[in-house]
Structure 1
Amino acid sequence: MFLFWEHGMDYVPASGLRYLFIDFNAFFAAAAQHDEPDLMGRPVVITPHKSEYSGAIAASYEARPFGITRGTRIREARELCPDLVVRPARHDRYVGLHKQLMSAIGTVLPVDKVYSIDEAAFRLGRREREREAALAVAEEVKEIITKRVGPAFRSSIGLAQTRLLGKLAAGMNKPDGLTVLEASDLPGKLLGLPLSKIPGVGGGIEKRLAQNGVTDFRGLWDLAPKHARAIWHSVQGERFWYALHGYEVAEPPTKTMMFGHSRVLTSGYRSPDKARAVARALLLKAAARLRMAGLLATRLSLNMKRAPDGVSDVEVGFEASRDSTRFLDALNELWRHASESLDAKNQGMELSHVSVFLHGLMAPDDPRAVQGDLFACAGRAEERAEKGRLWEVIDQLNRDADGRLARLAAPPGKGAKRRMGSTLPRHVMLADQQAIDLDYLGTKIAFSRVPKEEEFLC
């Protein structure tokens, strides 16, 4: 076995099949069919908001022959398929089902890495690296999913030398496929794959590749590792090249760079005043997650979009903080600047989207954070610390871990209930949040992150 070493990086050519990569097909829609067995075999879409004009975030495979895909507006989808079933998103439920699925598969193979709510890689053992043995394990995984969780969760599985190749293999036969990519299959089986379908090749990278004469998979395959590094402008390009060619590559640990949320504004929330209330609620959500992680933020970014084509991006910095009051003051400042740039104060002006992000993160014991406190007067530093502790208490009240507050708020003789597609109520909120539909506000399933269950209670 050869070992390639460059700039402190070891790349080992993998022998045999090393990974089983699983991609759950139409996961959100499958979750609805799992919870309501009568929906099995029927066209189902999942909507993020209670609006006929919102786009579907998932469509079952039964809905797709009608031309319904992710992004299709609900109103249009109903016209395409009169028998369509529409269900609200239930992100906390998806996290629970994800955990059940990972636990079930974990009885067969150890989890190597979870990439998203519906994608994960599992490491094959030494005795499972030959083709027939790996196929047998894959079939066992499919059987254990049906037996322990349910038949609604169809999955496409890829078997390959690396996680990247496993993901590519899993995407080759959907839904419910099982594909093997061995060293002898490369690059032949992948030559027809568009560059845009390859993980790690986003729009910006694809443009750089084209500028270097690479417009198809063959051109990508024939690159030299150092050339890939130059095109990517980072070592990630070299890591990508080796993973694509079947080399074992250690993936760097992910690091949280920011906490933020966004919202497409539905009818009733598009006026500047209503949109500002939504942005404030999103910011409080992000701040609660920041405190849950035990971190401080030093910058806040705001993005506003005016229908149909106006955009404003503004940002402000401040001393390291975990205090939502400080963040709200910063948002007020940013909102004023963004509104002026979009002329959003005009009567009848409508906004279509808002997003807020806390970044410039650091730990409380970071020398930069400590230095900031040294330059602040003692009284101001203590006031900031007290406000931070106050918001931590508010976080605890809203999480209501034992359900005591929910029971107190419920009618006599009845427990706390929630309808399908809703979250438990927040017990402490801003006055202007009371008129907002807060269901899953700001909490969604990211493509590269599975939310913690407690985030739904922030």
Structure 2
Amino acid sequence: MRKPETIERLYLDFDGFFASVEQQADKRLRGKPVGVVPYEGGVRSSVIAVSREAKMFGVKNVMSVVDAKKLCPDMVLVVQKPDLYRRANNAILAELEAIIPIDAVKSIDELTCVLDDEQRADPELLTYRIRARLRENIGQFITCSVGYAANRQLAKMACKAGKKSEGRYGSGLAIWHPQEAEQHLFKVKLDDVPGVGSNMFRKLMRFGIYDTEMLYNTQPKQMRKIWNNVTGERLWYALHGYDIQAPESQRGAFGHARVLPPEARSMTAAYEIARLLLVKAARRLRRENYYCSGLWIWLSLRQDGWTRTMKLPMVNDDQAVLSALKQGWDIALRDLGRTTTPFRVGVTLVDLTPAGERQTDLLLADDVERQRWEKASAAVDALNSRYSGTVVSVGDWKPPKGGNVGGKISFTRIPSAEDFW
């Protein structure tokens, strides 16, 4: 396993990306504290992104609007516009590619690059060129922090440390050369180490590991034991500066979820939104040439939640998955009652099989009918693609207030243009 002797990776993170894109797109928001909310009138929801001006008042992402307003009464609330953020991301990536090849886009506001010899020799100049190009061609309100280190893990940690330094937001720069990486690393809080979530943090406490230096000095086999898999051992090598990459993840599911606006917090309205979310998931399933054999339905309620997994033959058409949803929802109504108040709904297609490996269910003997429904779904997809919108659908197509059904931007996925049809 190779251990680089110099910096080889860049990690770039845009600060308050949704909020800064809003400020760049709307002059009226510039210089003001901005909080992005999931739906119109979202005073009972949380801010999903905040601008640097709001952060200076102590407002943080995923803070309730009520608490955020207590800290910053003048904060302007803006409803999220996922398609705007997607288009901004596309424009930014095109500008960055003109300076340095992008190795991996980690999320809509994070990416990593491999440095060539010239860039390793002068990372400050590379950072200046990146920021200057973005400022000139994208705008001055979308800013970024940049971290450099021997590998991706350390570069990400450097980037986060630089972002927090000296009270700056979106203008940090941190360079962790291998020979001095330890002194920077040991200043990082244990729960700020990527891969150490809240559950793992508590587990490390039980093992007597209380800070990053103690984690660093733990043996790799012990790390594997704590994580109960090879991930812990990989983390050990990454923290010690080795060039180690996690294997590519395999597609495991297609799903969508949505926080329900107040007017849709009933079992009847939630079902209609779940139906639209499921059609969007099925479209993605077909676009990427998969079949599924299961549907996972879940609801967030006032005190707890409800889930159900429905088994399916190997399918990818709208009729099959919508029938499973209806059956699952009937069970939910039986279990919860019609007066239950759901706050969030999600649907996920699971147990995936590549289209080329599909096998029909001999006992079910529905292949002729199934092929007809598949052809119908393919025809619907073709029409919607031709007109870049949902012009044909199975059942009514009435997106809820605020739209964005199936167009949610998650930590691991950037929607495509088709997700907004």
Shift of 1:79: 5.8
Bigger mean CA offset, 447-456 vs 355-364: 447-456
SS in 2 for 1:248: coil
1:72 aligned residue = 63
1:330 maps to which of 290, 304, 324: 324
Work out whether residues 35 and 49 of structure 2, in 8 Å CA contact, stay in contact via their aligned partners in 1. Answer: yes
SS in 2 for 1:358: strand
Shift of 1:49: 0.7
For structure 2, the 5+ residue unaligned runs are 164-168
1:159 aligned residue = 148
Alpha-carbon distance in 1 for matches of 2:270, 2:394: 14
**For each residue in 1:19-69, what CA deviation from the matched residue of structure 2 results, as whole angstroms up to 9, or x when unmatched?**
111000110011111112342221111121112222111110111233432
Work out whether residues 316 and 334 of structure 1, in 8 Å CA contact, stay in contact via their aligned partners in 2. Answer: yes
Shift of 1:320: 0.6
**For each residue in 1:303-345, what CA deviation from the matched residue of structure 2 results, as whole angstroms up to 9, or x when unmatched?**
11222x131121121111002111111112222223333x333
Bigger mean CA offset, 46-55 vs 165-174: 46-55
Work out whether residues 147 and 162 of structure 2, in 8 Å CA contact, stay in contact via their aligned partners in 1. Answer: no
Spell out the pairing of 1:381-396 with structure 2 (5 A cutoff). Answer: 381-396=367-382
Amino acid at match of 1:15: E
Do structure 1's residue 15 and structure 2's residue 10 form an aligned pair? Answer: no
Spell out the pairing of 1:46-445 with structure 2 (5 A cutoff). Answer: 46-51=36-41, 52-74=43-65, 77-78=68-69, 80-130=71-121, 133-174=122-163, 175=169, 176-307=171-302, 309-341=303-335, 343-345=336-338, 347=339, 349-366=340-357, 369-370=358-359, 372-377=360-365, 380-401=366-387, 426-429=390-393, 431=395, 433-434=397-398, 436-437=400-401, 439-445=403-409
SS in 2 for 1:261: strand
Alpha-carbon distance in 2 for matches of 1:206, 1:173: 23
Alpha-carbon distance in 2 for matches of 1:224, 1:139: 39
Percent identical across equivalent pairs? 29
Alpha-carbon distance in 2 for matches of 1:76, 1:243: 38
Aligned length: 414
Shift of 1:258: 0.4
For structure 1, the 5+ residue unaligned runs are 1-10, 404-424
Alpha-carbon distance in 1 for matches of 2:178, 2:68: 43
Superposed CA RMSD in Å reads 2.0
**For each residue in 1:222-266, what CA deviation from the matched residue of structure 2 results, as whole angstroms up to 9, or x when unmatched?**
111122122222222222211111111133123221011111222
Shift of 1:124: 0.7
Residues 305 and 166 of structure 1: CA distance in aligned 2, closer, same or farther (over 3 Å): same
Shift of 1:91: 1.2
1:453 maps to which of 395, 417, 420: 417
Work out whether residues 304 and 338 of structure 1, in 8 Å CA contact, stay in contact via their aligned partners in 2. Answer: no
Shift of 1:386: 1.4
TM-score (norm 1): 0.85
Work out whether residues 20 and 124 of structure 1, in 8 Å CA contact, stay in contact via their aligned partners in 2. Answer: yes
Alpha-carbon distance in 2 for matches of 1:344, 1:193: 48
Work out whether residues 278 and 433 of structure 1, in 8 Å CA contact, stay in contact via their aligned partners in 2. Answer: no
Amino acid at match of 2:266: S
**For each residue in 1:265-321, what CA deviation from the matched residue of structure 2 results, as whole angstroms up to 9, or x when unmatched?**
2211111111111111111111111111111000111111222x1311211211110
Shift of 1:374: 4.5
Amino acid at match of 2:33: P
Residues 438 and 376 of structure 1: CA distance in aligned 2, closer, same or farther (over 3 Å): farther
Work out whether residues 277 and 433 of structure 1, in 8 Å CA contact, stay in contact via their aligned partners in 2. Answer: no
Work out whether residues 54 and 266 of structure 1, in 8 Å CA contact, stay in contact via their aligned partners in 2. Answer: no
Shift of 1:435: 6.8
Alpha-carbon distance in 2 for matches of 1:127, 1:236: 33
1:31 aligned residue = 21
Work out whether residues 297 and 308 of structure 2, in 8 Å CA contact, stay in contact via their aligned partners in 1. Answer: yes
Work out whether residues 295 and 347 of structure 2, in 8 Å CA contact, stay in contact via their aligned partners in 1. Answer: yes
Work out whether residues 36 and 77 of structure 2, in 8 Å CA contact, stay in contact via their aligned partners in 1. Answer: yes
Alpha-carbon distance in 1 for matches of 2:299, 2:418: 28
